[in-house]
Structure 1
């Protein structure tokens, strides 16, 4: 592996505060376990979790004169297979870490791997994007579930991650309404199939009086959903196929469409 320069100490401190946060971070037992498994000495100079973690990672980075082992520790901790029963926690921690890592020109993917990313220089850049997008969406009377995704941590690079998360929110809403557990095209077929006697979700009554037109509407909506899933997410490993350079206008148009889909599903 190529040598990766040491992390800025401010970034390292923020990372440790995220991972060692009192309520939502790693437990003390987990910190001990992961440090040992990554061959990083636990100095135990502080009882506070994040400070204890910072001491260990700072010492290792100083000794190595690079951040390779520190970054390997982050990858090790955030490995998705460790968190299969707390997906929401994984997503929240990954988003927070990415907010910090963006200042180092790095990003954690949904598979828990680190990759190069455009380096952000200031918090203002990400905050301004979030505020601008939120204002424009408010003007469009966008669905609140989509509006909630206008977070600075999702916009530190470009608008791709906001669109990506909004797309995932569609599937989550369908699962909540139907209790189904599948995803992507399979979920759409199971939830909306008008060939079933009574589909889980229907846009209309699917009555025999107007069977052809009402079935066409249902089929058209299914195709729209499959198109959105197929375009903006890879439904098997749950990671983006390509990190598109989506600009603000692209995001506005796409999020408006996703908002309309949310309204249809709720009705």
Structure 2
């Protein structure tokens, strides 16, 4: 790891807005078996001095990578998912220049090296970060993990809409699909899925609105993507984010089912 790469990493992970605290740096250095040679300095210079001293003495970056892995353990970010994704995203941009990245599970893995800034930006998990920033429902990550990781927008939206159908079948115990599934699950008379008491006109409007939103997703996304080649049904990142936000809203509404 070059001095420039180490400096960039140290500046990023100690950024004053949401970076590591002084006490966190001290503990992580001890856990990573790196000497804290300059504890009185500013955070990024303190960490940079520790990294450089270690690498110059040991002629490797193993413990530095171990420090970063420990600093990005998911269990330490419960309730702060956006901080985790932002921090991991920024660190991975810099690690990509040495062919390494930290996974969403907090493990190190090899990746193709970046040689330009644009490559580093592309390799970082921007798509996941943007989805997390929108607070999309966890069902989307459950059904679309690999597609999100690969930033495969076409199959991400396809699988996300399939996740709605799968959840409706589970909740209603109706083994139908598409419009027929939505019609049976949300029938006004004797509905199998209700998100409210269906007493007032507002209740009924909300109930039918959710049904039509789901049918709209089937018609707009699932049916075309199931029958049209990927090269003829192009979905941009921005379009994928918008669709996934709607799918997320559907799942959040289903969370309220009585």
TM-score normalised per structure 1:
0.58
2:193 to 177, 191, 196: 196
Query: SS at the partner of 1:85?
Result: coil
Q: Is the counterpart of residue 52 in structure 1 residue 49 in structure 2?
A: no
Distance 1:260 1:31, change over 3 A: closer
For structure 1, which runs of at least 5 residues remain unmatched after alignment? 1-6, 127-151, 228-247
Instruction: Give distance in 1, aligned partners of 2:14 and 2:133.
Output: 28
Question: 1: CA distance between counterparts of 2:63 and 2:94?
Answer: 18
RMSD over aligned Cα atoms: 4.3
1:1-267 equivalence runs, <5 A: 7-44=1-38, 46-123=40-117, 125-126=118-119, 153=121, 155-156=122-123, 161-165=125-129, 172-173=135-136, 185=163, 189=168, 194=186, 195-198=192-195, 215=211, 218=214, 221=217, 252-253=235-236, 255-262=238-245, 265=249
C-alpha contact (below 8 Å) 1:166/1:255 kept by paired residues: no
Task: Give distance in 2, aligned partners of 1:164 and 1:108.
Answer: 14
Q: 1: CA distance between counterparts of 2:37 and 2:44?
A: 13
- Change in Cα spacing, 1:164 to 1:78, as seen in structure 2 (3 Å) is closer
Of Structure 1 and Structure 2, the greater helix share is in: 2
The count of aligned residue pairs is 196
CA distance in 2, matches of 1:74, 1:95: 12
> How far is 1:18 from its partner?
1.2
Counterpart of 1:135 in structure 2 is none
Distance 1:107 1:215, change over 3 A: same
Question: With structure 2 as the length reference, what TM-score do the two structures score?
Answer: 0.60
Higher alpha-carbon Rg: 2
Helix, strand or coil at the partner of 1:107: strand
Distance 1:85 1:216 in 2: 33
- The CA deviation at 1:40 is 1.2
Pairwise CA distance, 1:256: 2.4
Q: 1:169 to 1:69 in 2, by over 3 A?
A: closer
Identify if the C-alpha distance between structure 1 residues 223 and 92 changes in structure 2 by more than 3 Å, giving closer, same or farther: farther
The CA distance in 1 between the partners of 2:217 and 2:38, in whole Å, is 57
* Distance in 2 between residues matched to 1:27 and 1:167, nearest whole Å: 27
SS in 2 for 1:26: coil
